[in-house]
Amino acid sequence: MERHATTAMKILVLGHEEVVELLPMAECVELMRDALVARAEGRVHQPLRTIVRPAEAAGVMGLMPAYASGPRAAFGLKAICVFPGNAAQGKDSHQGAVLLYGAETGELLSVVNASAVTAVRTAAVSALATDVLAREDACDLCVVGAGVQARTHVEAIACVRDVRRCRVAGRSAERARSLVEELRGLYEFPVEAVGTVGEAVRGADLVVTATNSAGPVLRREWVSAGAHVNAVGSCTPHTRELDAETLAASSLFVDSVESLVNEAGDYLLALREGAVGPSHIRAELGEVLTGAKPGRTSRQEITLFKSLGLGVEDLAAAAFLYDRAKEAGAGTWVNF
């Protein structure tokens, strides 16, 4: 049998704490801006994610490949398991890795903790949407949910708006209070836990929903005119965080139309109920960033960004982390 000579290679492994240290939120917001602009301009190849959903399993696995062209061309693949029950054990519901591959030879360059990347880049994209779509004077923040994404979204929104106060509500009052205690003292604005979602949302002009709920946690009568909503938690066709009336009353912006019409229960269930039609989709965020389509058009308009997460976001984060870690001498190099 013919044997081929091989060249020893090393891969960079980056754990959770290293990702958090090397990927500051403010920098990630700008990184996501560049990634979504590249996608809008046709410089990214990204198929719809594949979901492995065994009937007997406690969670699902998602496979999110992407390729970005240009001077820093690379392939990326996020392989991540989503287990909603993890929160009860004090663990992140998202578990997995982002794999970074070189574009010239296809060699594996890096393995990056996906929980940390997902937590930071998801919040960064919401902050980017907030920066582009929310009123410039929006300052009253409400976060529905008390998990990992709730924590990172407070940090992210504070990067793009001068937050005056933040209210947190969740299905578990105890977890909401725990999150508030964790955040207390980190920001100049007050962060408080409130008893109900309705109480938290009323009067807010910046709203984040980041829950594992299968049914609506946000109702139209609570949302103020002129508010901006980032809907983050629901990512399957049969679950929703928003009632149909909220969706119908909002100008709908998305990270990906393809993802929306295949995966977003917030949209698909409202569509099935006749509350909205396909023309209700205003634009992808990348199209607003490039100026191809308009964003907010009035102060009274409710803008809604439905986030599903894109492979190019993970690829951009992994490529940035690879370069930053090499510069800083961080991470662990492993023979492979």
140 contacts 204 by C-beta, under 8 angstroms: yes
Distance CA 86, CA 233 (A): 15
CA dist list (Å): 255 to 172, 227, 263, 264, 334:
29, 19, 12, 11, 35
pLDDT at 7: 67
Output the pLDDT for position 89.
Answer: 83
Nearest residue to 283 (alpha-carbon basis) of 262, 314, 305, 298: 305
What local confidence, expressed as pLDDT, does residue 4 receive? 57
| pLDDT recorded at residue 3 | 55
Q: Which of 150, 136, 209, 204 is nearest to 182 (CA)?
A: 150
- Ranges in the chain, pLDDT < 70: 1-7
Distance CA 95, CA 82 (A): 6
- Taking the CA atoms of residue 119, residue 124, residue 126 and residue 127 in that order, the dihedral angle to the nearest 10 degrees is 140
The pLDDT of residue 213: 86
**Hey, how many other C-beta atoms are within 10 angstroms of the C-beta on 294?**
11
Q: In angstroms, rounded to a whole number, what is the distance separating the alpha carbons of residues 53 and 67?
A: 25
Q: CA–CA separation, 283 vs 161, rounded Å? A: 22
pLDDT at 5: 53
Residue 212 identity: N
- For the stretch 284-308, pLDDT in tens is 999 999 999 999 999 999 999 999 9
Q: Does the structural domain 10-117+312-335 have CATH classification 3.30.1780.10? A: yes
What does the domain layout of the chain look like in residue ranges? Answer: 10-117+312-335, 132-309
CB proximity list for 135: less than 8 A, separation 6 or greater: 205, 226, 228, 296, 299
Q: Distance between CA 190 and CA 291 in Å, rounded?
A: 35
Question: To which residue do tokens 């990067």 refer?
Answer: 159
* 90/247 Cα distance (integer angstroms): 32
CB-based contacts of 99: which residues, under 8 Å, 6+ apart? 76, 77, 78, 79, 108, 110, 111, 112, 318
C-alpha to C-alpha distance for 222 and 124, rounded to whole angstroms = 25
> What is the distance between the alpha carbons of residues 323 and 99, in angstroms, rounded to a whole number?
14
Cα three-residue angle 68-35-17, rounded to 5 degrees: 100
- Tokens 């009274």 found at: 300
At 163 the three-state DSSP class reads coil
The pTM score is: 0.94
CATH number of 132-309: 3.40.50.720
Predicted local confidence at residue 235, as pLDDT: 83
